[in-house]
């Protein structure tokens, strides 16, 4: 059981919003698939989409509270983050997030990083975001 706890992505495990955002920054590190030193929104979403299978802990093709029952009970902040995630991504309001909903979910961290709103996050923008999140924790 403890090993299963370790595979939950940082976007849900971290106990403070700032720590959760720092964990999400890892997505940027792996997202630059074309190696141009910038992460497009499409690259960011593709990298984030790869996390779906880890979140769908029971393998039913959706992410829901049932995937994190006891963990969310033991860690109320985690439960709150999970509820917020489901609320933002669950477009049909059935309480479950499908792979398609997950892929098209809002990307507020990308939007926050893309200061110049050109649809790309470069190394300087990522560093500014990292510093801002560090000051928040």
106 burial via Cβ count (<10 Å: 0-12, 13-18, 19+): exposed
pLDDT, mean of residues 3-25: 45
The pTM (predicted TM-score) of the whole model is 0.68
End-to-end CA distance of the chain: 29
**Chain Cα centroid distance, residue 1:** 23
List domains and CATH numbers for the chain: 2-131 (1.10.238)
Model confidence over 27-78: pLDDT tens digits?
888 889 999 999 999 999 888 888 888 889 999 999 998 888 887 788 888 7
Confidence category of residue 24, pLDDT binned at 50, 70, 90: low
Average pLDDT, the chain: 81
CA distance 118 to 2: 42
Note the pLDDT tens digit of each residue in 117-130.
Answer: 999 999 999 999 98
Closest C-alpha to 121, from 51, 52, 16, 47: 47
Cβ proximity of 11 and 106 under 8 Å: no
- Residue 28: strand, helix, or coil: helix
């Amino acid at each position: 059981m403890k090993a299963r706890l370790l595979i939950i992505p940082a976007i849900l495990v971290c106990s403070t919003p700032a720590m959760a955002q720092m964990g999400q920054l890892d997505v940027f590190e792996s997202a630059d698939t074309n190696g141009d030193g910038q992460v497009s929104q499409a690259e960011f979403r593709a990298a984030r989409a790869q996390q779906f299978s880890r979140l769908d802990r029971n393998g039913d093709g959706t992410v829901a509270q049932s995937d994190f029952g006891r963990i969310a009970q033991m860690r109320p902040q985690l439960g709150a983050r999970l509820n917020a995630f489901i609320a933002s991504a669950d477009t049909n309001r059935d309480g479950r997030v499908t792979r398609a909903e997950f892929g098209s979910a809002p990307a507020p961290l990308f939007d926050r990083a893309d200061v110049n709103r050109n649809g790309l996050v470069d190394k300087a923008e990522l560093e500014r975001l990292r510093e801002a999140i560090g000051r928040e924790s």
